[in-house]
Amino acid sequence: MSGGGLLVAGTTSDAGKSVVTAGICRWLVRQGVKVAPFKAQNMSLNSFVTREGAEIGRAQAMQAQACRVEPTALMNPVLLKPGGERSSQVVLMGRPVGEMSARGYHGGRQEQLLGTVLDCLERLRGTYDAVICEGAGSPAEINLRRTDIVNMGIARNAGLPVLVVGDIDRGGVFASFFGTVALLSPEDQKLVAGFLVNKFRGDVSLLGPGLEMLHGLTGRRTYGVLPFQHGLGIDEEDGLRVSLRGTVRESQVAAPVGEDVLRVAVCAVPLMSNFTDVDALAAEPGVVVRFVDRPEELADADLVVVPGTRGTVRALEWLRERGLADALRRRAAEGRPVLGICGGFQVLGEHIEDDVESRRGQVDGLGVLPVRVRFAREKTLTRPVGEALGETVEGYEIHHGVAEVLGGEAFLDGCRVGQTWGTHWHGSLESDAFRRAFLREVARAAGRRFVPAPDTSFAALREEQLDRLGDLIEQHADTDALWRLIESGAPTGLPFIPPGAPA
C-alpha cells in the first residue's frame, strides 16, 4: 500500500515552497512519521552528491535532512543545470545525460521522463508513510502544462492533493491564489485543496476577512499563515538574489571572539554554483561575508573566495572584463588569502583545455596556481574524506575538469602556494575543526586579531534551523487538517472556478 502524499506548489518562484516543504517534513518526523521529500524536476546550480554518487538539488538534500533520512536520487530524479540563457545540462537519476535547449526539453524530452518520475515517486511512497513533494515555479504556467511533470502533471498522475503557497510580502497574494486556481482545468482544480500564506508581517487578525472572502470565492480554505522570519531559507535553488536572502547570510553577524572581524569577499561569477559553500564561513561569529563584482571591493577583504561555476571559461572572461582577474593576481603576489573552489580553483590555474563545457579549447587561466585543467566528458561525482591543516575534512565533488597539479603544497585534491588555496571539494568548510584552522591561518596572513569561536557547530546550526521550520508549521498551520490531506487526499466537492485552462 502506498503512503500518503502532498504537493506543495507556489503562486510564483521563490514563494517559499522549499522552506514550507522542509518545515512540513520536520514537523512530520517529529510526530514519528516516516517521511521523504520529492521534487520531480529541479532547475538549480546548487547541487549535492549522495552517498551512492548521484547528483541532486541541494534543496532536496536539505529536505532529506529535515526528514532525518539519507538523500537519494529518487528524491530528485531530474535536475537541470543552466549553462546559459537557452540551454541546460540534464541530470537524470543523478547522472548527466547531455545538454539540451529549453525548446528541445519542453518539446518532447520532458514528457518522456514522466514514467521515470512517477516510478521514483511510487517507490518512495511504497517505503515511507508520507512523501512531501515540491513543485516548481507556478502550477498555472499554461504554456507548459501539456508537458508538465513537476506540478499538476505529477499531481494528476499520482492523485496528490495540492497546497498552494503564496508570498504575501510581495503583495497581491489574494489575486495570485485566485488566479492560480482559475487558470487550471477542472480536473486539475479538483486536486487544489487550499492555500498557505507565507511571510506575513503584522496582526494576523487583519487578514481574516480576506481569507474568508477567498474561501467564499474559491470554496478552498487557507491551511495556515506563516509569519515573516529572518534566516529561514534553506539551500535554495538559483541566483545571487536568492542567496543573499539565505540562512546565515541574512542573519546579523555575531560579535567576534577576538578583537577583529574577518571580512570575506565572494566573487559573484556568472553561473555561480554551490555558493552555499560560504554559508559555513558566515556562520562563524565575527565573519562578514559579502558578494562582490568590482575590484575595489576586494581591497579591504581579508579573504577572497572564487566559488564554483557552471561556466569556468565564461567566469574567466568575466573576471578579466571586470578587472577582478588583475586584482586576484595582485593579491596572490602580495600573499593575501585567496580560496578557489571547484570552478574557482580551475580559473586560478595556468590553463584550461575545455572541449566539453564551453568548447573553447585551450584558454589561459590566471596563472597563480601550478595547475592545468582538462575537461573530461565524464563528470566526477564523489564524497571524499581527507586531511588538511592537521584536521579531518569531508566534502563532495561535482566537476568535469580534471586537474593536474604540478607543484605547490598539497591541499585536499588541489594545492596551495603561499596564501592562495585551490580545491575541487565543495562543503569542506562545513568540517568545523578544519574551518577553524583555516580561518586562523587567514587571520594570521591578513594581520587580523580574529579568533574563531571554539564551539561553532555548522551541523548543529542547520538542525536548529530545520527545527525552526518545523516549529513554524506546528505553531501557525492547521496540522490536523494538513495530515488529513496527506493521508486522505483533496476534499471532494471542490468547486470549479472559471474560466479554467485555455483550450
Contact 243, 275 (CB under 8 A): yes
Local structure of residue 490 (DSSP, 8 states): S
**Would you state the cell numbers that stand for residue 213, as one nine-digit string?**
472572502
CA distance 26 to 44: 23
Catalytic residue among 25, 342, 399, 424: 342
Ordered alpha helix ranges (H), 5-160: 17-30, 58-67, 102-104, 110-112, 114-127, 152-158
Cα separations in angstroms, 265 against 39, 268, 338, 402: 33, 9, 10, 26
Contact 199, 167 (CB under 8 A): yes
CA distance 22 to 467: 10
The sign of the torsion formed by the CA atoms of 248, 474, 136, 170 equals negative
CA distance 201 to 441: 43
**Would you state the cell numbers that stand for residue 316, as one nine-digit string?**
574567466
Tell me the chain's radius of gyration from C-alpha atoms: 23
Ordered alpha helix ranges (H), 262-323: 279-282, 312-322
CA distance 24 to 36: 10
Determine whether 415 is an active site residue.
no
Helix (H), strand (E) counts: the chain: 18, 27
CA distance 139 to 46: 23
Contact 285, 253 (CB under 8 A): yes
Determine whether 342 is an active site residue.
yes
Report whether the peptide linkage leading into residue 256 is cis, meaning its omega lies within 30 degrees of zero.
no
**Would you state the cell numbers that stand for residue 328, as one nine-digit string?**
586576484
Catalytic residue among 399, 400, 426, 476: 426
Which residues are known catalytic residues? 342, 426
